[in-house]
Structure 1
Amino acid sequence: MTNIKKVGITILSFLLFTTTSLSFSSTVSNVKTDPEKDKILVYVLKNILTRGHFVVKDMNDDFSEQVYISFIEGLDPNKRYFTQKDLKEFSKFKYQIDNQLINDDVSFYNLVYSNFLNKIKKTANYYEELLAKPFNFKKDEVIDLDYANLPFAKNENELIDYWRKQLKLNTLGRIQDKLDKEEEKSKKDKNFKKTSFKEIEKEAREEVLKNMKELYLRIEELERDDWFSTFLNSVVGAFDPHTTYMAPRIKERFDQDMSGKLEGIGARLFKKGIYTEVSELVSGGPAWKQGELEAGDIILEVAQGDEEPLDIVGMRLDDAIKFIKGKKGTEVKLTVKKKLDGSTKIISIIRDVVELEETFVKSTIVEKEGKKYGVIDLPRFYIDFSDTTSRDSAKDMEKEIERLKSENVKGLLIDLRNNGGGSLKTAIEIAGLFITEGPIVQVKYRGKAPIIKNDIDADMQWDGAVVILVNEFSASASEIFAAAMQDYGRAVVLGGNQTYGKGTVQSVIPINNFYPDYDKDLGAIKMTIQKFYRVNGGSTQVEGVYSDIAMPSRFSYMDFGERDLEGALSWDKVAQAKYKRTDSYTNFSEVINNSKQRISTDKKFSLINDYAKWLRKNQENTTVSLNLKEFKKENEKQESAAKKYTDAFKYESNLTFNSPKYELPLIKKDTILAEKRSIWHKNLSKDIYVAEALNVLSELQLRNTSQIVKN
């Protein structure tokens, strides 16, 4: 066994990676057991984790219970397979899993998994029988979609009733869609003859049945390794939510995701239970340009142009991606469940080549009250670890600032919204552009004293005013940079109440490095190995960075961020590093107060705040009526309430944004670049958060720059 300390760290990143987890709706038909591989994986993973993870965690009864709960939820998150009788059988291992893992034993997995396979075989009988006859839509009953708190069925009869309600809801949704379309057609054509409800109901059930059959055909294609990966992720995830096992296929996709060009819609997807969810949009990509798809949206169906849509609920992520991706110029129609209000929407996107160039630094210039200001968009802290001579975010940032200085801008607005992080090295170097020498961040390994990471370049490239715009998606390296600028008093931070709160770093390590004699690919582990602390000593973990000026957003009252992840590492602090605040502004408090006053009296921000409260209220309502009339009333009520907030984010600033001079000849040659910049500039002019950030930037008054001294 190779000692973990001798294994080189292949990738260090602060990116918000999300575990690809399988759902209840996947299983295995061709079971190919490889006991040797299973035991090797358990053996290697437990040794890597116990030796190298940031947290020292005993494999005891508490650990065993956590794995037990996580694995069963991973297999059956919607409580559609196991009953309380099954759980009673499983529970004999509830506090034995730790002992089994110590002995490289997977008996618990085998028991649950074999039971799961048997349950899958019964399921076809459930849905076929239930969908064979009409549902009673006059009956007053509801379904609770809060599956996390739903108890497992007491027996098989109650389990079948769970299925009945779910299938009834699926059918009801389709019926309502069909009735709405019929109504629209009748309004346009007085001679249109409506289809009878009986026919509509039958069509809806047939569609649901067809989708269920397609789903279970896809299920048969899955391999045993997929489900063993789910078990392994239950084990490694017990250490913290960002530690995950990546099977070879997942690792391959991970590597592809980190580099190269994409041809498709420009959205990163992950599996959440039975659903394919959008984790982020690629800046400049087709989905980003189209503007309707958002992070957190769930993709339910995929249609190729005008073809019939394919239901991808429960589909393997790899397969779902194949249907969503496609050649440049082709159309894909996504049926999406919106994260914020739960509404269903069809979004048409024309696929294109998604260039990673759009994830790089870019800037624009805006004139306000006779003065020019630079706006820099930093989508992530990028770097090519395999080629240190290539471009990275620090080099590009330095170059962009020089270009803006040559055009005599009076201040810089740095936009870190949706920046999930990246390289710590570049975050430190970028922070160094705004101060002279001094500490930027503290890094701590398990059981070790914090290591202070300094900016050692005495030059300060930009000594003017700085405002940093963040939101709830600003994470990791973004938080390190924003925190350093805040601690030094070098910049005003404004945006959401607080940033994401991911103060940990993960290393991605091939497992074969620890077992080189094994000839099969064992995949990799992404493991939390470090924690980060501000120069003031506080961790960015969980707490993130609190904005100097908090502005209402749609996420203001949502459960969101690291603080809402189960098992997230806790906040703590270390000794403060030795640094001296620059306190760059003579009117810092006055500017902050002015902005808060504007925000509190602004009708748009007030409406956004009301919208955020409404979204929170909807999030807490998890029951849906299965009575047709009540279902329709609920939908109409929801749509009516939503109309009140239609204009919440409609805003015009009357500001004009223009590319810096160096980019003008490039735009003339590159129509795609010209279009991207045109869209970006148009969006900036309609962005209420950018407008307020520029108000703040224009009011800041600098002290004598000679007072921004070395630390």
Structure 2
Amino acid sequence: MKRNYKAMLLVLLLAFASCSFTTKKFDNPDKDKLLIQIITFVLEQGHFDPILFDDAFSEDFFEDYIAITDPFKRYFYQSDIDDFEKFKLTIDDQLKATDITFFNVVNQRTLQRIAEAKEIYKTVLATPFDYTIKEYYNSDSENAEFPKNKKEMQDRWRKQLKFSAISNYDDLKQEEKQKKEKDASYTMKTDAEIEKEAREATLKSLNIIFEDYIDDQTREDWFAIYVNTIVEEFDPHTYYLAPKSKEDFDQRMSGKLEGIGARLQKRMDYIKVVELISGGPAWKGEELEVEDVILKVKQEDEETPVDIVGMRINDAINYIKGPKGTKVTLTVKKVDGTIKDITITRDIVEIVDTYAKASVVEKDGKKFGVINLPAFYVDFEDYKNINAAKDVKAEIEHLKAEGMEGLVLDLRNNGGGSLPTVVEMAGLFIKDGPIVQVRSTGEAKEVLKDRDKSISWDGPLVILVNEISASASEIMSAAMQDYKRAIIIGSKQTYGKGTVQNVMNLNSMLRNNNAGDLGALALTTQKYYRINGGSVQLEGVKSDVTVPGRFTYINVGEKDKDNPLPWDEIDPAIYTPWENYFDYDATVKKSKERMSNNPQIALIDENAKWVKDKIDVTVFSLNYDDYVKQNENNEAESKKFDAIDDYKTNLSFYSTTYEKSLIENDSTDLKEKRERWHKSLSKDVYIEEALNVLEDLNLAYPIKKVASAVKE
């Protein structure tokens, strides 16, 4: 992989060296033009599947750039769009000529409209809201028209602000009721006083966003958005990393940082939780969840929260993280549309908490093992000591020492990681052979193989996946499925990311660079394929036993992103399927039957459909009585799904002897982390079924004999 990337980089450098341009001292516009020249060159020459810079590109880019610049249609008027339309089919010509006229025109108008918007929202929030009126707010801005005049624009802002303020109003109303219940002599605030306080809180949040964040946007920040929109036309995983902001939409609050322990991404104007770091404060709290949208943030020394919708992700993260021991309250929108306040005490988040961990479980007199792998991590500077394959191998040995007769590898929510690591890990379960095929444009495919003939575990194997399992998780699952080495249990299909990216430092494209830091480009350079020749791109890995989950009906996969690369296939590699299961198909059939008749699974499926219905709702009442009634109805409806969390399997999980020795000498909270994990495993219906499958998978020879022989 690195060899191919280095070769491609060398070709690009040599080719670009022949391009003629000056390397004088650049001012911003000239630097912008240089960046466009380099970006377009790298995309055309280095991208796996480059698209043409033509009229079709111009049209798509035009729509996307306007949508990204003004996603809620609260800045531009229809007349602005009409003005911009003259560029709609000529943007490609501008890029070829390193002309940035379109950017300049839109950016100048954007700054003008933002200045006007500041006056509009201040005017709107100077007038009390009447929550007795029967009116509605439609959050579906994608299908809304741009305002035709200032009156329409002000009304759009009014409804958006009223929708934002009504939640503050409701919170304050509930607080007053609680104070009265605790102290009968307490004099409650009037509705007018509460309304004013709620409106002022909304004003404060908007002032912070506009004055502290939007106004701080530099030309370089705006141009980075423009450039990123260009590159994302090629595929969802090619993106521009600006030199200052480094807005790669993948900021980690982990390692040695003090924070809440969550990974966030910005999607349109919203900040969404895409991962919880195991062992971190958010993970411990068990309230914040993947796919939650963070709407507001309140520090413990502040009375009112700050609305972070529309805030830059770096600024939002800086506002959320903070010193160890301090508290932060997040107002989040759950996947079912309900709004909830979650208070988290910040702490040091250690990266070690994302490493592989193992548990023993006894069932019907047999011992089984569970290994949870949050990511295919690796430290390339210390590969021999820090990589997921090495750790999983070690955990297998610890489980074998306990007498393990079957293994569950849990890859749910595992977003991927290192390609060399997954190839090495897959080799732990087969003698040798191909694991994945990789193809670069214009080059012969490369088959990545396990060449180590030793097998760490050749007993029964089940792999758990869901819709969030992506990239390296899909390579692992696909390889084990193609070999018929494991039974895959989980979502109808995994995420569907079948591409490989490399990060290119754009400064390396120049000699004697006087333009300043140009940033970097994450570039899709390859696609990977299953050993059977198929791609996981868009289609993902289809589970052998399909079970519903909380994401079943939500659009979270690659196929739901903008501009994904297409599915295709190549010739299969030569491989020999695993032959030690004589009842593979019968086991899959029995599992499907169990799952179809499982009431817990049926309830999970019903909940997933309910969540999807709530997500699809885009019209909300701005009448307070109706607002409260709708919230109460949602709360009542959700009660029936409390049984999902109350489920128990009657299985007991415990640490390996090796880990128990670590816990005895541990000065941190390893014991607490493992106890919480074991408790969650005992309530996990998917783990329960995985263990049932392991029981059903009979081997043609005794497991203990094999395990002993491998160990020797």
Give TM-score scaled by structure 2 length: 0.92
In 2, Cα distance between equivalents of 1:208 and 1:463: 60
Aligned 8 A contact 1:328 1:350 in 2: yes
Q: Are the structure 2 counterparts of residues 212 and 257 from structure 1 closer, same or farther at C-alpha, using a change threshold of 3 Å?
A: closer
List 4+ stretches of structure 1 deviating above 6 A: 252-256
Give the aligned length: 682
Which shifted more, 310-319 or 60-69?
Answer: 310-319
Aligned 8 A contact 2:434 2:447 in 1: yes
Local SS of the residue matching 1:248? coil
Are positions 1:623 and 2:625 aligned together? no
- The one-letter code sitting in structure 1 at the alignment partner of 2:630 is E
Are positions 1:697 and 2:697 aligned together? no
- Which residue of structure 2 aligns with residue 550 of structure 1? 546
Local SS of the residue matching 2:380? coil
Are positions 1:175 and 2:175 aligned together? no
- Which residue of structure 1 aligns with residue 657 of structure 2? 661
The aligned runs of 1:80-479 (5 Å cut-off) are 80-218=74-212, 219-251=214-246, 257=252, 260-305=255-300, 307-308=302-303, 309-338=305-334, 340-479=335-474
- Which residue of structure 2 aligns with residue 41 of structure 1? 35
Which shifted more, 475-484 or 357-366?
Answer: 357-366
Local SS of the residue matching 2:417? coil
Aligned 8 A contact 1:185 1:192 in 2: yes
Local SS of the residue matching 2:311? coil
In 2, Cα distance between equivalents of 1:373 and 1:705: 15
Are positions 1:513 and 2:508 aligned together? yes
- Which residue of structure 1 aligns with residue 22 of structure 2? none
Structure 1 residue 256, shift from structure 2 partner? 8.4
Are positions 1:559 and 2:555 aligned together? yes
In 1, Cα distance between equivalents of 2:114 and 2:407: 58
In 2, Cα distance between equivalents of 1:352 and 1:599: 40
Local SS of the residue matching 1:386? helix
Local SS of the residue matching 2:504? strand
In 2, Cα distance between equivalents of 1:442 and 1:436: 18
Local SS of the residue matching 1:367? strand
In 1, Cα distance between equivalents of 2:389 and 2:197: 58
Using the aligned pairs only, state the percent identity: 48
Aligned 8 A contact 2:428 2:456 in 1: yes
Aligned 8 A contact 2:204 2:306 in 1: no
Structure 1 residue 306, shift from structure 2 partner? 5.1
Aligned 8 A contact 1:79 1:147 in 2: yes
- 2:64 counterpart (57, 62, 70): 70
- The one-letter code sitting in structure 2 at the alignment partner of 1:572 is D
- The one-letter code sitting in structure 2 at the alignment partner of 1:359 is T
Aligned 8 A contact 2:166 2:622 in 1: yes
Which shifted more, 219-228 or 323-332?
Answer: 323-332
In 2, Cα distance between equivalents of 1:377 and 1:550: 20
- The one-letter code sitting in structure 2 at the alignment partner of 1:479 is E
- The one-letter code sitting in structure 1 at the alignment partner of 2:613 is K
Deviation string, structure 1 residues 630-683 (Cα, Å, up to 9, x no partner): 222222222221122122232111211111111112101114211211211111
Aligned 8 A contact 1:275 1:314 in 2: yes
Which shifted more, 389-398 or 144-153?
Answer: 389-398
Q: Are the structure 2 counterparts of residues 705 and 72 from structure 1 closer, same or farther at C-alpha, using a change threshold of 3 Å?
A: farther
Structure 1 residue 267, shift from structure 2 partner? 0.7
In 1, Cα distance between equivalents of 2:6 and 2:686: 46
Q: Are the structure 2 counterparts of residues 596 and 389 from structure 1 closer, same or farther at C-alpha, using a change threshold of 3 Å?
A: closer
* Unaligned runs of at least 5 residues, structure 2: 12-25, 707-712
Give TM-score scaled by structure 1 length: 0.92
Are positions 1:539 and 2:535 aligned together? yes
In 1, Cα distance between equivalents of 2:424 and 2:556: 29
The aligned runs of 1:475-494 (5 Å cut-off) are 475-494=470-489
In 2, Cα distance between equivalents of 1:449 and 1:51: 17
In 2, Cα distance between equivalents of 1:388 and 1:209: 51
Aligned 8 A contact 1:611 1:648 in 2: no
Q: Are the structure 2 counterparts of residues 77 and 337 from structure 1 closer, same or farther at C-alpha, using a change threshold of 3 Å?
A: same
In 1, Cα distance between equivalents of 2:298 and 2:404: 47
Which shifted more, 692-701 or 479-488?
Answer: 692-701
Aligned 8 A contact 1:286 1:351 in 2: yes
Are positions 1:684 and 2:681 aligned together? yes
In 2, Cα distance between equivalents of 1:488 and 1:375: 21
In 1, Cα distance between equivalents of 2:257 and 2:684: 28
Aligned 8 A contact 1:608 1:649 in 2: no
Are positions 1:674 and 2:671 aligned together? yes
Aligned 8 A contact 2:405 2:459 in 1: yes
- 2:565 counterpart (566, 569, 573): 569
Which shifted more, 75-84 or 209-218?
Answer: 209-218
**Greater RCO, CA 8 A, separation 6+:** 1
Which shifted more, 611-620 or 255-264?
Answer: 255-264
Q: Are the structure 2 counterparts of residues 474 and 496 from structure 1 closer, same or farther at C-alpha, using a change threshold of 3 Å?
A: same
Deviation string, structure 1 residues 306-343 (Cα, Å, up to 9, x no partner): 532333333332222222212222222222221x1121
In 1, Cα distance between equivalents of 2:548 and 2:247: 40
In 2, Cα distance between equivalents of 1:92 and 1:278: 39
Local SS of the residue matching 1:292? coil
Structure 1 residue 611, shift from structure 2 partner? 0.7
In 2, Cα distance between equivalents of 1:33 and 1:173: 47
- RMSD (Å), alpha carbons: 2.2
In 2, Cα distance between equivalents of 1:407 and 1:265: 35
In 1, Cα distance between equivalents of 2:245 and 2:600: 43
Are positions 1:54 and 2:48 aligned together? yes
Are positions 1:650 and 2:652 aligned together? no
- Which residue of structure 2 aligns with residue 527 of structure 1? 523
Local SS of the residue matching 2:310? coil
Q: Are the structure 2 counterparts of residues 205 and 33 from structure 1 closer, same or farther at C-alpha, using a change threshold of 3 Å?
A: farther
Structure 1 residue 619, shift from structure 2 partner? 1.5
Deviation string, structure 1 residues 605-635 (Cα, Å, up to 9, x no partner): 1111111111111111110112222222222
In 2, Cα distance between equivalents of 1:70 and 1:650: 44
Structure 1 residue 279, shift from structure 2 partner? 1.8
Aligned 8 A contact 1:489 1:584 in 2: no
In 2, Cα distance between equivalents of 1:258 and 1:33: 35
In 1, Cα distance between equivalents of 2:240 and 2:502: 12
Q: Are the structure 2 counterparts of residues 37 and 258 from structure 1 closer, same or farther at C-alpha, using a change threshold of 3 Å?
A: farther
Which shifted more, 131-140 or 217-226?
Answer: 131-140
Which shifted more, 372-381 or 247-256?
Answer: 247-256
In 2, Cα distance between equivalents of 1:369 and 1:514: 63
Aligned 8 A contact 1:4 1:48 in 2: no
Which shifted more, 627-636 or 422-431?
Answer: 627-636
In 1, Cα distance between equivalents of 2:336 and 2:251: 33
Structure 1 residue 454, shift from structure 2 partner? 1.3
In 2, Cα distance between equivalents of 1:151 and 1:447: 44
* Unaligned runs of at least 5 residues, structure 1: 10-31
- The one-letter code sitting in structure 2 at the alignment partner of 1:502 is K
Structure 1 residue 129, shift from structure 2 partner? 1.4
- The one-letter code sitting in structure 2 at the alignment partner of 1:40 is L
In 1, Cα distance between equivalents of 2:444 and 2:6: 20
